[in-house]
Amino acid sequence: MNAKQITFKILDEYPIGATFRGIDLMYDVRMRTGEVHYPDTMLRYMREYRRKHGRGIVNINKAKSVYQVVG
């Protein structure tokens, strides 16, 4: 699996109400792939995931890059 597929899988696994930071998502992907990617890349994949899957993930703290799964 590539980094985008892994990111989508991780986002699928997050329960409603889960909060995470962009850096946390990056570390989760790194642990599963063994590859290094920038947090911005993971957040770009997350935005694509929201468009394609229609899952509600909102930014609850822009300054700290904190997101929450709402649906």
pLDDT digits (tens, 9 = 90+) for 20-63: 999 999 999 999 999 999 999 999 999 999 999 989 999 999 99
pLDDT of 1: 87
- Count the alpha carbons within 13 Å of 9 in the hemisphere toward its beta carbon: 10
pLDDT of 25: 95
- Residue closest to 53 by CA, chosen among 3, 21, 20, 5: 5
**Entry pTM:** 0.90
- Residue closest to 69 by CA, chosen among 6, 8, 15: 15
